[in-house]
Structure 1
């Protein structure tokens, strides 16, 4: 894939800091207080206009620019840069009243009602025409303003309209299928439509996977692919218009990259972004939210082949409002989360939102200025973070060092796991990926979480966790990786189907059977509450397999139960020293930790005396290193290190104490 416009400068002089700013929610008397507080907190950029369409265009072609002119002037006077949004995430009520066909339709053919976000069908050409009209109007009026430094297309595309099953979408889906397969015979072959007699004689007979009945998994997977492509096409239409009017301004949209299958296929969208941007929110029940922060950053960084810095477009200062129980962040957690994102490659820290809303669907979502005002824990920590980021200006443009461990993550594999019935329907894609990431994260290894088409060269270890769907090219390159001396770890339920979601015959895991030297004749999913034991003390639940280790050595075997004595984990050593490890069992986190410790060489850490609960990261240039020390512990952490500590200005000659719950960043020259 070719990346676009990577030579464009970062939009702010230092690390970008700020958040979504929605002045339309407030009386203009509040605006001047806002910019005064922004300056006090060190804010240098805000995202503006995301939900302002109905206030800017009051009827078709009728505009009210006065209030928006005023707020842009005020931000410019206070030297605050603007990430200006195209407001297409929020179609105006007058437009939806005139066009009740615009909102998306669910799989049960229930049309969405106005009132939420992204209330439009991505395939509707009439909506596209209206959207491009407001995009052109905003770009022509404000694109040349000095403090407008980048474009923010819509908002979280796919977050409310990831799939639409309406007749317009159905027609677009048929066109997409015809372009992909050319003939209906090839489609029938790819989908295996002879099953249940669903053979098609014409593309015109094909419908989206409507209703709740069991559908062909291949059809559902292609509909997921189509839906992602339709939203990307909308983004590209807005982007093309913005580039026509303001060719020098970077264009992006905010992803929602996490540990679950994404709303759209962000890895395939990434080449079309001048700056990668992400929204990330931790989940209240998460036992280790700081590892989720690291996982998201490791995915974002790996979406580009040059591992360039990215922008954290949204996260929360404290509690969100959309989880069953919304946990407030502990003292210092706001700062630790933000600096961890920077340690994992972010050159910007932005929040939703600047001021917590009084009304509306997100009125209890935390903001940089909470309901109680600036004399609060949240705003004091926001201001401390702003000062920290100013002191971290030398980090801007540096990059996270190349990792020695790569973990494959693929949305198509996740969609295929989620769509259709499986031997065990309680194996959510992403849980296994994050479990293996956690094992390397806990011991301080650098990790890239990368799409399967990225280059595997340069990694010592490549982990393939629950990669259910695998293309032939991915399987071939994984074997070449082992032949070249790398260590490949393949876990249960990987390599089962091809890119058409058809089972690979001859024994599981079909895509990796030859390189592993082992194969499975039958899955043995466990029932709820059941566990298994292995003869080396490892244990787990949910999943076991009847494995044959024809050309592999056995690391450990099942102990007891119907698979007693059968291989559970195998390793095949290839000429040249490469190894292929097969983990057929759903082993638990302590067992994964033990396997990683026993079989995989650790990456040398930036500091040698890393403690549990002390997160250590590094960014570098050709001449400098920046070591991030994030103390999640309840007590102080002492490490041996030399250099200049950027947040306190102290020179560290030998040892540094990182107080409980705080962060430190040490700058040192690279050894050459």
Structure 2
């Protein structure tokens, strides 16, 4: 039995003694005769943490109420006997066939009223009390059995919560949505005011009239849709809390779940989720549907560190090579596994884990890469794994070090939901595209970044970048205003500050909440058609978006030189208190954006990382008594970076310049901290 006191909730933070190399393991897919070979190879590769029972529900509970732990017992004991820690899944991610057969009301329903059936995974409604009761019964059985097992180092709630079932529109979800709304607004009159239901005769007189934003024949109410996103994120977070509470009755081991801070997952507001985690963990896979996947990876890693409050975090899943779910599943080039893994490590990860250990022989993910490929150990992937392991084991004192940027970038899930709603000025502009554009500009300028939620403290930063923050609360905007008034610098881009938390336009001209701070008024937006490019009078070019903008107290830095708004300010600079606020009223070309960001950052006193650029990452992790410089060269040319110290990958002392070959990774334990 567990040493935890029944009925109590115990919180324990995850603090590894050394960098973790880990993986998912699905032994239920393999004959037990293979398990010993697997564990021996794990030891050879230096694997120290293995996630098991992630999708084990049908194996552990083959029929309702009948539990069989024999296989899981054997695997957990085998890993422990070989000195490998266990990241133990609760097994609830994918219900077994018996559950939906007995309880079809647990299945999720889409906006068009169609049901999603078993045969894949995550086929459950987050609001279903029946699903929750059966899932928590499983969690209780697993936690009772393994709550004090010495192998268990981490508890893994479900898996990628909301990856496929974040939004459910069934009648059970509708009732839960109404309860959530009653808690939020108290009265139907308050709901009507918040949602602006005077428009299109949508006024409600009773809670029973309110439905989720199911498919409509015209544009839906945008605030209802926004609130449904909020509700859905809260509903899944409530489910996480329920599992975690059961676990903590039986165990003092840290509890978490794997976030999906990626370009294709926007339905969970992880700023609200992060405080509930004993360690923030993330899953990330290179997305080759994007123009620059490595930049999106770096943004995701910086965002995950932001969710962790600047503290170390765990990369719960990534891939050794290709995935299986993109239109073209691109295999990683030689050396790319090391580069992508170390991009996460450089940005604060204290553990690098992969999906999965052994590539599946059957199932939907059989062509997803793994640590042990179908071709076995005589492979590029296996050799690169051994090299990665060697370098990780040479860096034990990286654990606990942090990244300390001088520049912050504000990122908001709520603004993402609202800005990309139907009926916006142009579908050619989307929120995350603009966030990525400014992040890429900062990276090209060699500037490390902390990603923060709206309203978080800006103390200690020199510059805050606020891209496309369409929705912002008064208190959140006031944080930026005070920061500038007290001597900070801010760079705000177009379509920011436009609406409040109810998606209600702030009257008087855009950029609404930031109008006085920036010293500008936008009378009307003028989106550009696809492919149209306009010159600015400073030599830059712009696309996608222009504005009929006039200055009040700001000075114009660049004007539009072409088009119907020629002569109109496009980039402005305003003194506010003892600080400076910049505004960009268009979508600048990448070189112009990087040049502007670098100029603004230098004026703010933020120091770019020497040698860094669009294809060269230079990131420092440090503590009081040690400092490590990570250099990741994604380019086809060798680069030089000024640094002195001991380089871990090659084992050589370096300085005053470090040579990094094309596609190479170097980690320098800097002089003075050896």
Q: 1:135 to 1:525 in 2, by over 3 A?
A: same
Matched-pair contact (CA < 8 Å) for 2:77–2:151: no
Tell me, which stretches of 5 or more residues in structure 2 are unaligned?
1-8
Provide, for residues 170-218 of structure 1, a one-character-per-residue CA deviation record: whole Å limited to 9, x for no partner. 0010010001001111110111000001101011110001114321100
The aligned counterpart of 2:205 is: 201
Pick from 379, 383, 387 the counterpart of residue 384 of structure 1: 387
Q: How many residues align?
A: 663
The aligned counterpart of 1:420 is: 422
Matched-pair contact (CA < 8 Å) for 1:188–1:200: yes
Matched-pair contact (CA < 8 Å) for 1:611–1:637: no
Q: 1:285 & 1:150 partners in 2: Cα distance? A: 33
Q: More displaced, 420-429 or 619-628? A: 420-429
Q: CA deviation at 1:612?
A: 6.4
Q: 2:428 & 2:534 partners in 1: Cα distance? A: 17
2:337 corresponds to 1:320 = no
Q: CA deviation at 1:493?
A: 1.0
Q: More displaced, 69-78 or 215-224? A: 69-78
Q: CA deviation at 1:589?
A: 1.1
Output aligned runs, 1:403-442, within 5 Å.
Answer: 403-442=405-444
Pick from 533, 541, 544 the counterpart of residue 531 of structure 1: 533
Output aligned runs, 1:161-176, within 5 Å.
Answer: 161-176=165-180
Calculate the TM-score normalised by the size of structure 2.
0.96
Q: More displaced, 60-69 or 222-231? A: 60-69
Q: 1:418 & 1:670 partners in 2: Cα distance? A: 49
Output aligned runs, 1:510-525, within 5 Å.
Answer: 510-525=512-527
The aligned counterpart of 2:65 is: 61
The aligned counterpart of 2:160 is: 156
Pick from 28, 32, 36 the counterpart of residue 36 of structure 2: 32
The aligned counterpart of 2:359 is: 356
Q: 2:597 & 2:634 partners in 1: Cα distance? A: 23
Q: CA deviation at 1:168?
A: 0.5
Pick from 118, 132, 148 the counterpart of residue 122 of structure 2: 118
Q: 1:611 to 1:579 in 2, by over 3 A?
A: closer
Calculate the TM-score normalised by the size of structure 1.
0.96
The aligned counterpart of 1:254 is: 258
Q: 1:108 to 1:279 in 2, by over 3 A?
A: same
Pick from 618, 621, 627 the counterpart of residue 619 of structure 1: 621
2:308 corresponds to 1:309 = no
Provide, for residues 407-458 of structure 1, a one-character-per-residue CA deviation record: whole Å limited to 9, x for no partner. 1110000001222211112212111111111111122211011111211121
Q: 1:652 & 1:492 partners in 2: Cα distance? A: 44
2:598 corresponds to 1:594 = no
Q: CA deviation at 1:348?
A: 0.5
Q: 1:6 to 1:145 in 2, by over 3 A?
A: closer
Q: CA deviation at 1:38?
A: 0.6
Q: CA deviation at 1:297?
A: 1.1
The aligned counterpart of 1:346 is: 349
The aligned counterpart of 1:140 is: 144
The aligned counterpart of 2:503 is: 501
Q: 1:421 & 1:249 partners in 2: Cα distance? A: 47
Q: 1:108 & 1:349 partners in 2: Cα distance? A: 40
Output aligned runs, 1:541-580, within 5 Å.
Answer: 541-576=543-578, 578-580=579-581
Q: CA deviation at 1:109?
A: 0.8
Matched-pair contact (CA < 8 Å) for 2:425–2:527: yes
Q: CA deviation at 1:664?
A: 1.6
Q: 2:652 & 2:560 partners in 1: Cα distance? A: 55
Q: CA deviation at 1:615?
A: 1.7
Q: CA deviation at 1:634?
A: 2.6
Q: CA deviation at 1:61?
A: 1.3
Q: CA deviation at 1:661?
A: 2.0
Q: 2:515 & 2:608 partners in 1: Cα distance? A: 34
Q: 1:132 to 1:612 in 2, by over 3 A?
A: closer
Q: 1:536 & 1:345 partners in 2: Cα distance? A: 38
Pick from 99, 106, 118 the counterpart of residue 103 of structure 2: 99
Q: 2:90 & 2:335 partners in 1: Cα distance? A: 34
Tell me, which stretches of 5 or more residues in structure 1 are unaligned?
none
2:368 corresponds to 1:394 = no
Q: 2:155 & 2:94 partners in 1: Cα distance? A: 16
The aligned counterpart of 1:189 is: 193
Matched-pair contact (CA < 8 Å) for 2:103–2:130: no
Matched-pair contact (CA < 8 Å) for 1:41–1:384: no
Provide, for residues 370-403 of structure 1, a one-character-per-residue CA deviation record: whole Å limited to 9, x for no partner. 11111100111111111111111110111112x1
The aligned counterpart of 1:235 is: 240
Output aligned runs, 1:275-294, within 5 Å.
Answer: 275-294=279-298
Output aligned runs, 1:637-652, within 5 Å.
Answer: 637-652=639-654
Pick from 312, 331, 335 the counterpart of residue 334 of structure 2: 331
Pick from 224, 231, 235 the counterpart of residue 226 of structure 1: 231
Q: 1:70 & 1:484 partners in 2: Cα distance? A: 61
Matched-pair contact (CA < 8 Å) for 2:617–2:631: yes
Q: 1:325 to 1:344 in 2, by over 3 A?
A: same
Matched-pair contact (CA < 8 Å) for 2:446–2:613: no
Q: CA deviation at 1:609?
A: 4.7
Q: 2:75 & 2:612 partners in 1: Cα distance? A: 48
2:92 corresponds to 1:88 = yes
Instruction: State the superposition RMSD in angstroms.
Output: 1.7
Match of 2:118, SS state, is coil
Q: CA deviation at 1:460?
A: 1.1
Matched-pair contact (CA < 8 Å) for 2:444–2:613: no
Matched-pair contact (CA < 8 Å) for 2:601–2:607: no
Pick from 477, 497, 504 the counterpart of residue 479 of structure 2: 477
Q: CA deviation at 1:610?
A: 4.8
2:13 corresponds to 1:13 = no
